[in-house]
Chain A
Amino acid sequence: MDVELIFKIAAVGIIVAVLCQLLIRSGREEQAMLTSLAGLIVVLTLIVSQISGLFRTIKQLFGF
């Protein structure tokens, strides 16, 4: 069980939020949106493997 995943996702979220604020303040809304999208994709790639592992465990355990 890797609790670091939670902190990793939270760190990505905070960094993305700060970057978005900076970019919006300096008048680059498109780049801010792209940064937010990139952060979302990074977090999704972190999570998807965990979700698939969970579902594989459930399938094995309950004999789907």
Chain B
Amino acid sequence: MNIVGICALAVVTVILIAALRPKNAEIALLLGVAGSVLILAFVLSQAPSVVNTVNSIVAAAQINTGCVAILLKVIGICLVTEFAANTCRDAGSQALAGNVSLAGKILVTITALPLYADILNAVIKLLSYS
């Protein structure tokens, strides 16, 4: 399945949701969740090639692999957070969506904290040269 299939799946799902919503709102919501889960699962099944390419480039350039691990972890946190926030927004509870988004931002900052120490060390090293 390619992007055409994904778009067709989304359109069919949204038509079914629109048909189902006045009668049975809960199952319409779950239908939306199922559609987004299917699309994401399909897209992520093709993502390992991207991760492998990034890892090989980093290994060839001899950059510290800890940075790349943190980067990938941050991408994963963003993905999960956005999924949950979009689902909450779909169900009509904006406050929950906003709070999940906020929690994601804070966790991204916490995950990226070791990089700040790296940046500070680099700055100190540069200053000691001058």
Contacts and interface: CB of A to CB of B under 8 A. Distances in A.
Interface string B65-85: 000010011011001100000
B16 interface: yes
Q: By DSSP majority rule, is chain B's interface helix, strand, loop, or mixed?
A: helix
Given A1-B1, A63-B69, A50 B20 contact: no
Interface stretch (B28-36, B56-64, B96-104, B112-120): B28-36
A47 B30 contact: yes
Contacts of A53: 41
B72 A63 contact: yes
A58 B35 contact: no
A54 B27 contact: no
Nearest to B12: A6
B45 interface: yes
Interface residues of A, number: 34
Contacts of B41: 1, 50, 53-54, 57
A23 interface: no
B44 interface: yes
Contact of B26 (A6, A14, A21, A40): A40
A9 B117 CA distance: 49
Given A46-B34, A64-B73, 6 more contacts: A3-B9, A13-B24, A36-B26, A39-B24, A47-B30, A62-B72
17 contacts: A2-B38, A6-B9, A9-B34, A13-B27, A14-B20, A17-B23, A17-B24, A40-B27, A40-B30, A46-B34, A50-B34, A54-B41, A55-B80, A62-B51, A62-B73, A63-B72, A64-B76
